[in-house]
Amino acid sequence: MRILIVVLSLFAMLVLAVWAGWDVLGGLVGGEMSAAGWAAAIIGTVLTIGLGAGLMALVFYSSRRGYDDRADEATRGVTGPPEAP
């Protein structure tokens, strides 16, 4: 039941975001958006989501492979900026 509530909440947020985007894009210039404009908006959205997904995949990969642990061990005990020479 909890998963259903989460999925429905996320779907509602998606619908709200799409509706708001449609409303804003339609009202910016006071007219119709050209086909090139729609293509640019769709391509930009897909690339942005792809970039975010790729970066999150790298975060999970790094965490599971232990790369974060080595970086944490290297900086453990360092609490401030390095001292000036």
Q: Is residue 39 part of a domain?
A: no
For 19-71, what is each residue's pLDDT tens digit? Answer: 888 887 766 656 677 899 889 989 999 999 999 999 999 999 988 887 777 66
Q: Is residue 5 part of a domain?
A: no
pLDDT of residue 80: 58
Q: What phi and psi values does residue 38 have, to the nearest 5 degrees?
A: -65, -40
Q: What phi and psi values does residue 17 have, to the nearest 5 degrees?
A: -65, -40
Q: Is residue 62 part of a domain?
A: yes
Q: Is residue 61 part of a domain?
A: yes
Q: Is residue 35 part of a domain?
A: no
Q: Is residue 65 part of a domain?
A: yes
CB-CB neighbours of 68 under 10 Å: 12
Decide: pTM greater than 0.85.
Answer: no
Domain ranges, residue 64: 45-73
Query: Using an 8 Å Cβ cutoff, are 30 and 37 in contact?
Result: no
Q: Is residue 51 part of a domain?
A: yes
Task: Give how far the C-alpha of residue 68 lies from the chain's centroid of Cα atoms, to the nearest Å.
Answer: 21
Per the structure, the count of domains in the chain is 1
